[in-house]
Structures are given as structure tokens and as C-alpha cells.
Amino acid sequence: MSDYAVVNPATGETVKEYPTSTDAELAAAVAKAEETYRGWLRETSVKERCELVRKVGALHLERCDELASIIVREMGKPHAQAVGEIEFCQAIYEYYADHGEAFMADEDIALSWGEGSAVLRRSGVGVVLGIMPWNFPYYQVARFGGPNMIIGNAVLLKHAPQCPESAEAMQRMYLDAGFPEGAYVNIYATNDQVAGLIADPRVQGVSVTGSERAGAAVAEIAGRNLKKVVLELGGSDPFILLSTDDLDATVESAVAARVDNAGQACNAAKRFVVAEGLYDDFLGKFTEAMQAVETGDPTDADCAMGPLSSTVAADRFEDQLKRAVQGGATLVGGERDGNYFTAGVLTGVTPDNIAHHEELFGPVAIVYKVKDEAEAVRLANDTPYGLGSYLFTTDKDQALRIADQIDAGMVFVNVVGADAPELPFGGMKRSGFGRELGRFGCEEFVNRKMIRIG
């Protein structure tokens, strides 16, 4: 089998295989990207690039059904969720089209001495490499490709081996929108070939969304070659519940935060930290609601939860659950059928259990009981990760106080599923560094050139 193939996780069928790029093809891709950066991307204005980015977003909506069907068969995302992802992509591209000129505008610098003026001018840095995962095939690319087109960088995009068809479809949209060949280039590269690309002096930076292991490997190579890196890696986000005036609504939010995309999201709520006064009621309602989530054929419009993305992912998740139970935890649900898992709940997870510090990438939640606010914060922060977090409380002062103490890049108070194009996305600790989305998405791979005029 080719490294790049569409294997339907719901059926196990190999739909189509794609040939891996040859070394000669990769060399030509880098050369074309460098040529386009030196030529077309430098010669066009930010305004012109913004309008093409807007067209890329519009094409996502025009081709929504086709694009959704692709990722349903690539990684098992339910069709309705696939459509939602595509609509979010359009919003991201439109956001950068609307604000790109302002983000890239010259910034005057007030001089403390001497006559004349000084200005900070933002421009592209060259060819940048994006290494993307399978769980949100279009969204991950939108938040990398959109801003870099605005900046004026040429993009090489290496997608996950199980997403070759969506990768191909995205390159087609960039070309159909009016970008020339070389501005956005899809490559089917191996890990060894990626190492060579990072070392190539024409490649100026690399952005990785993926596992901690992948991020560490790429960062090591980039460090040896003095290349800028943005890492958006794993997460084991806490969902802290200290008080609520509507427990049923809070439980509904908790379920949504855990089972979206079959629990395969880096910023999904995975550890539920509940005040002891609410614990028993929450656990009962939450367990019942999780068990009520039905799996189904992801092509069905009303499918709530599809399979995990692959047999490899399902095997890994099953092994994690087995080891958690062997370590003394109690599991309700989490039963496997092929690549499908029922939604479930783990309790009795102690600090020496593997589930306490590992990221569970599937539809099973860990629930803890805590005595007070201080213990809730300690437990929330007792993780090697620091991506996002969720806090539910009726006390506004408490919300801000705890938000200041949580070791994470993002805190959502009394809300889930509230990501937006203007909100910076990223984490700390072993969840990586750098930011995507918002104005910070245009600040990572950019040259901030100071021009001083006497």
C-alpha cells in the first residue's frame, strides 16, 4: 500500500491510493515555490492577495458537499460536522481577507531622539512548510494557508497520509481562486523527505499541528537548521465545574465538549474536574448522557458520532483504556466495535494511572471530584499539556481568578464550541508554542523590517 491512501474507517475499504512524491518532484516543488515567492507573491499587493484568499473561502462553500464527502470517507467525520468544518474555513478565509491589509499595514515608530522617522514594515519571509493532521483536514490548513497567503509567503503543504484526497482538493481551490502554481503546493512527502525539506535553505519555517512526538521530531530538525517553528500539539484540557444554575445545560455542554469528532480533537475537554457538592449529580447525568450518544454511518445526515479515524487510532485508544482499567480505574461505556467506540466515562483515576497524564484521543471522559477551588486548579494544571481549558461557574470574580491561574493558552468560561477566526489559538508546555488565528496568525512567519529615515 502507498503511504498516502484513502481508507474508509467505517468500512475498512481502501478507496484510492496516491503515489508518494519522488525526490525530483519535491525538488521541483521547492524550486517553483521559491520562484513564485521571489516573483508573483512579491509583486502583488496585500489587497490583491486578500481578494484571492476570499475566493478560496467562497470555493469552500460552493464545493461544500463534495469536500464534506471526501473527509467523511477519509477519516470518518459525520457529514454534518464535516459541513460545519467547511463553513468555519470559509469564515477564516473571509476574516483574513477582511483584515489582511490592516494586519500588514506599516506601523510608525515614535523616535526618542534624532530627526526623521521610523516605520515597521511587515513582509513575507519566503517558503514555509505546513505539516497537518487528519482530524480537521480543511480547518487546519485554513488557519495556516490563509494568513500566509496574506503575508506573501509561498506554502508547501504536507498533509496526513490518510488525507490525500482532501489535500488535492485544497490545492485545486487555491489554483481555481487565481493563485499561480507555486503559491500553494501540495506534496505527498515521507517523513525522511520532510526532514530534507526543513534543512533546505529556501524553506524559512515550519508549522506542525499533530502529536507531541511529531512536534518534537520536527522541532529538533528545525533547531539544528535554525528555522522558525510553530507547534500546535496535543492537549488534555480540563473542564472545571464549580457551580451552575442549570446542571442539565452544563451536562449538555460537557458531552458536546467531549464527543465532537468522536473525541478526536486536541482542544476537546478530556478531564472533568467537579466540585464535590455537584459531583454525584453531575456524574450520574453525564454518564447517562454519554451513553445515550449513538454511533452511526458518518454519511447519514443525522449521525451523532462516527468511527475513530483508522484502525491504528482505534487500536491505540483501546490499549489506553485497557491500561487505565488495569491501573484501577472504572470504565462505563467505551466499548469497541470495529473502529467505533461508544462514548464512556472513566472514574477512580489516580495520579499513578497512565490515564492521568496521557491524552485520550477518543470519546471517553475522565471525571474527578475535588473539595474546593484550590484543588480544582491544582488538578487542572497537573498535566504535561497546556492547550485549552473550560470553566463553569456562576461567580464572575471566581471565573477571572481561576482563569489567571490555569496553565493553558486558552480559557473558555461557561461556553464550549466557541472558537472563532478572530480568537488566537495555541498553547503552552508540551502543547507547543506560537499562535494561529486572529491577528497573531499574521505575526508568526513574517519579517518585521524596521526602516529608519534620517
CATH of the domain at 17: 3.40.605.10
Are 359 and 295 contained in the same domain? yes
- For residue 316, the enclosing domain spans 237-420
- What CA–CA distance (Å, rounded) separates 370 from 44? 57
Round to whole Å and give the CA distance between 436 and 440: 6
Asked if 89 is an active-site residue, the reply is no
The CATH number given to whatever domain includes residue 260 is 3.40.309.10
Catalytic hit among 266, 303, 442, 444: 266
Q: Does 332 share its domain with 184?
A: no
Cβ atoms of 126 and 97 within 8 Å: the answer is: no
CA distance 355 to 376: 18
User: Dihedral (C-alpha) 20, 141, 177, 104: value to the nearest 10 degrees?
Assistant: -130
Give the model's pLDDT for residue 94. 98
Say which of 34, 74, 232, 359 is annotated catalytic.
232
C-alpha closest to that of 265 among 384, 140, 166, 147? 140
In the structure grid, which three cell numbers stand for residue 411, read together?
480559557
The predicted model scores a pTM of 0.96
Can you read off the three cell numbers belonging to residue 315?
A: 487500536
C-alpha separations of 110 from 52, 65, 449 in Å: 34, 51, 15
What's the grid cell of residue 1? 500500500
Do residues 38 and 96 both lie within one domain? yes
Angle between helices 64-75 and 46-62 (to 10 degrees): 70
Task: Locate all alpha helices (DSSP H) within 241-353, ordered by sequence.
Answer: 247-259, 276-291, 311-326
Same domain flag for 362 and 254: yes
Tens-digit pLDDT string for the chain (454 aa) = 468 999 999 999 999 999 999 999 999 999 999 999 999 999 999 999 999 999 999 999 999 999 999 999 999 999 999 999 999 999 999 999 999 999 999 999 999 999 999 999 999 999 999 999 999 999 999 999 999 999 999 999 999 999 999 999 999 999 999 999 999 999 999 999 999 999 999 999 999 999 999 999 999 999 999 999 999 999 999 999 999 999 999 999 999 999 999 999 999 999 999 999 999 999 999 999 999 999 999 999 999 999 999 999 999 999 999 999 999 999 999 999 999 999 999 999 999 999 999 999 999 999 999 999 999 999 999 999 999 999 999 999 999 999 999 999 999 999 999 999 999 999 999 999 999 999 999 999 999 999 999 9
Instruction: Count CB atoms within 10 A of the CB of residue 34.
Output: 18
Identify whether the C-beta of residue 73 lies closer than 8 Å to the C-beta of residue 126: no
Distances (CA, A) of 182 to 186, 194, 225, 317: 9, 18, 23, 39
In a domain, 425, yes or no: no
Rg of the Cα atoms in the chain = 23
**Cβ within 8 Å of residue 453, ≥6 positions away:** 116, 117, 118, 119
Nearest to 261 by CA among 89, 390, 81: 81
* Same domain membership, residue 197 and residue 72: yes
Residues 173 and 199 reside in one and the same domain: yes
Is residue 186 located within the same domain as residue 291? no
Task: In whole angstroms, give the CA distance from residue 41 to residue 153.
Answer: 7
pLDDT value at position 205?
98
Q: Is residue 299 part of a domain?
A: yes
Same-domain check for residues 315 and 392: yes
- Residue 363 covered by a domain: yes
Structural domain contains residue 365: yes
Asked whether the beta carbons of 450 and 118 are under 8 A apart, the reply is: yes
**Residues 207, 95 within the same domain:** yes
The 10 Å CB-count burial string (b at 16+, else e) for 305-332 is bbbbbbeebbeebbebbeebbeeebebb
Q: Angle at the Cα of 122 (from 120 to 123), degrees rounded to 5?
A: 145
Tell me what pLDDT residue 244 has.
Answer: 98
- Mode of pairing for the β-strands spanning 428-429 and 228-232: unpaired
- What's the one-letter identity of residue 217? A
The number of folded domains in the chain is 2
Q: Is residue 36 in a domain?
A: yes
426 within a domain of the structure (yes/no): no
Active site residue 50: no
Reference 74, options 143, 168, 174; nearest CA is 168
Q: Which amino acid is at 161?
A: P
Cα–Cα dist 353/349, whole Å: 6
Cα 445 to Cα 15, 53, 287: the distances in Å are 36, 17, 44
Q: What distance in Å separates the CA atoms of residue 61 and residue 40, rounded to the nearest whole number? A: 27
